[in-house]
Amino acid sequence: AQSVAQPEDQVNVAEGNPLTVKCTYSVSGNPYLFWYVQYPNRGLQFLLKYITGDNLVKGSYGFEAEFNKSQTSFHLKKPSALVSDSALYFCAVRDRSSGTYKYIFGTGTRLKVLA
């Protein structure tokens, strides 16, 4: 079965410091990987995706993610964190086995950027 894991429930980082939110995946075949962000009382917003090609993917709001096939990881990164980045972040994989490509989400990581 296809799955994603986010090992950290919460990540704290000081404003201006680099941030990393971790995600590992388990899929059969080539993965389609996504990151979404959820602000309080809001729906999920798409940040970036990896489909194929360059392992470093750039997305919205200065975020990027690195696809690492050997480590089955897709960590979200940002060189300099902002207080406004504080939110809940979800990693997701499209399930190829079902034929419908439904999203399977991780449990989420709460990012707290401290001023």
By CB under 8 A, is residue 112 in contact with another protein? no
Smallest separation, CB 17 to another protein (Å): 26
Applying CB under 8 A, among 28, 55, 83, 102 the residue interacting with another protein is 102
Closest by CA to 37, choosing from 55, 2, 68, 62, is: 62
d(CA 61, CA 39): 14
> At 52, which amino acid appears?
T
| Contacts (CB under 8 A) with another protein, residues 10-69 | 32, 34, 36, 41-46, 49, 51
Smallest separation, CB 99 to another protein (Å): 8
CA atoms within 13 A on the CB side of 59: 22
Judge whether 34 and 93 are in contact, CB under 8 Å: yes
Of 15-23, 63-71, 73-81, 88-96, which part binds another protein (CB under 8 A)?
88-96
Please report, as ranges, the residues that interact with another protein according to CB under 8 A: 32, 34, 36, 41-46, 49, 51, 90, 92, 94, 96, 98, 100-108
